[in-house]
Structure 1
Amino acid sequence: MRIGIDLGGTKTEVIALADDGAELFRHRLPTPKNDYQATIRTIVELVARAETATGERGSVGIGIPGSISPYTRMVKNANSTWLNGQPFDSDLQRALNRDVRLANDANCLAVSEAIDGAASGAQVVFAVIIGTGCGSGIAIHGRSLIGGNGTAGEWGHNPLPWMDDEELRICEQLPCYCGKQGCIETFVSGSGFSADFLRLSGEHLNGHDIIMRAEQQDAVAEQAIHRYETRLAKSLAHIVNILDPDVIVLGGGMSNVDRLYQTLPQLIKPWVFGGECETPILKAQHGDSSGVRGAAWLWPLEK
């Protein structure tokens, strides 16, 4: 049995999977914000609940909103900031009395969709979470690629490629929370989409309402989503030029915008070197469950 934990900013979820991927147990508890020791206790409790409910002991994989530094073995780059600078994996191993595997939550999405999701069987999968923020992960042969510096897949904190004059002006006025300017995240996250609509219209709406406006033939909303699609296409073309994955999978709130799967395949081509690109761009099959399922699959079948 494989146990997966998805440590989110507001909730922490556990799932127990059989070897064939069948769900055996699932439960959520509130994440104890800003309390490191309580976070560890919550994970221990969720693992205990899963094992009590199933009567089995499982391997444990955990998806976190950050990564483990290969040099210090401490958490870094986590937006759940109370984790940063902590030896989270070793503390969890002691608390659970077993080995654990940790990966960035976007890498867990990539693993989940590569194992038994939208990209099932693909050798190289690039998965994107486009929600409030913007994260991404890479799975190769169904395994998470972390990289020598623990930063593989940090696509959202590269600059938006091929900026036009207006985009250059925007990035000068809108620094990313990471301290740099022009990050992809500031343009293609759900928050970035809403901010761009605000610039165009003077009105603050969430992504869902902007899409509704566009479907009702609102010209400003249509302009905002076309700009969004073009920026996302340019950003994904960068990945095709560097990694050339077999499949690109979209997750997060903006992945529910169905028109993206019709528009992106054509919009991406002019930005790919040589102008050729038939890479499938697919919606995450497991939706919000992909992160927790991918955490469970951090322990592959042969283990």
Structure 2
Amino acid sequence: MKLWGVDLGGTKIECAVLDSDNNLEVVLRKRLPTESAKGYEHILSQIKKLVDLVAEEIGEVPQKVGFATPGVLEPESQLMKNCNTTCLNGMPLAKDLEKILGVPVKLANDANCFALAEALMGSGKDFPEAEVVFGVIMGTGVGGGLVVHNKIIGGHHGIGGEWGHNILEENGEPCYCGKSGCVEQVISGPALERYYEQVSGEKQSLKTILQQYQEGGNEFARATVERLIEFYGKAISTLINVLDPGLIVIGGGVGNIDLLYTEGYEKIKKYIFNKGIVTTPILKPKLGDSAGVFGAALL
């Protein structure tokens, strides 16, 4: 049986077909631009166009399709919420997709799809005994996905895994969610760049800040990186205290920073409720930007 997945991104829509009878081998991957500025109906037509193109190319139509979305489907209302592609918010996306595609669909947040794909096809393959896998996204924003026994836990409100909007810093920077000091406003890429600018008076990319830190001699770069390590340790410790996962996989641009897996790992020990002992494997992802669309197919 073929597994169909679509990753609905802000700039691109990607479709992937996996062969479930042949070790999840990739049959085909294809992309189209989202063109989200043209509105909700146009996004639907781009999805339909892409699925039809893939079906024509492989000579087979889907029986059902999984979707990785930039927000979540509210379980009660069946309307989308928390989407950074804002024209999706408040829309019955699942119902409309089933109408235009003529097949059942299943939707999950893109961070949840990342976590599912890494659990089943990526880093999780080396830890088959891990009952609970948490996928962290640390990039422009901070998000997460929770997988238990190879199944996404969306939660009662559809916000399972949303650790990026817990308060990490009292009286911190205001967040678009309405609170202040959220994890996302402390250790995301833009938040770290903003902090550097506040203490130094200069605007620099995170890449440059890290380079300056490694070269030494820049007190502002050192303060920014030390802030990241400290708050990262505190934030990850809360995940472990609540869920105690058998594996954490960290995606996103900030997740590429090697210090998170050395000094950052040591910092978790300062806050964990386990007498300073941490043995949780915390790894970089193996699937790169394929995780979203593969996770969608695995739904």
- TM-score surpassing 0.5? yes
SS at match of 1:113: helix
Aligned position for 1:216 = 215
CA distance in structure 2 between the partners assigned to 1:258 and 1:71 by the alignment? 41
Give per-residue Cα distances to partners, 1:108-145, cap 9 Å, x unaligned.
00000000111223321111111111111101122211
1:249 aligns with 2:252: no
Aligned position for 1:156 = 164
Sequence identity percentage: 41
SS at match of 2:32: strand
1:57 aligns with 2:58: no
**May I ask how many residue pairs the two structures share in their alignment?**
289
CA distance in structure 1 between the partners assigned to 2:203 and 2:158 by the alignment? 36
Aligned position for 1:272 = 272
Q: How does 1:1-303 map to 2 (within 5 A)?
A: 1-19=2-20, 20-34=23-37, 35-58=39-62, 59-120=64-125, 121=128, 122-160=130-168, 163=169, 168-169=170-171, 171=172, 174-217=173-216, 218-274=218-274, 275-298=276-299
Which stretch of the first structure deviates more once superposed, 277-286 or 17-26? 17-26
CA distance in structure 2 between the partners assigned to 1:147 and 1:72 by the alignment? 14
1:220 Cα deviation from its structure 2 partner? 2.2
CA distance in structure 2 between the partners assigned to 1:213 and 1:157 by the alignment? 29
1:210 Cα deviation from its structure 2 partner? 1.4
1:55 Cα deviation from its structure 2 partner? 2.1
1:282 Cα deviation from its structure 2 partner? 0.5
Aligned position for 1:301 = none
Question: Are the aligned partners of 1:265 and 1:278 in contact in 2 as well (CA < 8 Å)?
Answer: no
CA distance in structure 1 between the partners assigned to 2:12 and 2:225 by the alignment? 30
Question: Are the aligned partners of 1:187 and 1:193 in contact in 2 as well (CA < 8 Å)?
Answer: yes
- TM-score, length basis structure 1: 0.92
Give per-residue Cα distances to partners, 1:202-240, cap 9 Å, x unaligned.
111222221122222233212211210111111010011
Question: Are the aligned partners of 1:3 and 1:47 in contact in 2 as well (CA < 8 Å)?
Answer: no
Give per-residue Cα distances to partners, 1:137-172, cap 9 Å, x unaligned.
101122211011111111111100xx4xxxx35x1x
Question: Are the aligned partners of 1:245 and 1:279 in contact in 2 as well (CA < 8 Å)?
Answer: yes
CA distance in structure 2 between the partners assigned to 1:187 and 1:12 by the alignment? 30
Question: Are the aligned partners of 1:109 and 1:127 in contact in 2 as well (CA < 8 Å)?
Answer: yes
Q: CA RMSD in A?
A: 1.3
Letter of the 2:69 partner, please give it.
I
Which stretch of the first structure deviates more once superposed, 23-32 or 248-257? 23-32
CA distance in structure 2 between the partners assigned to 1:22 and 1:206 by the alignment? 38
CA distance in structure 2 between the partners assigned to 1:14 and 1:208 by the alignment? 31
CA distance in structure 2 between the partners assigned to 1:109 and 1:118 by the alignment? 11
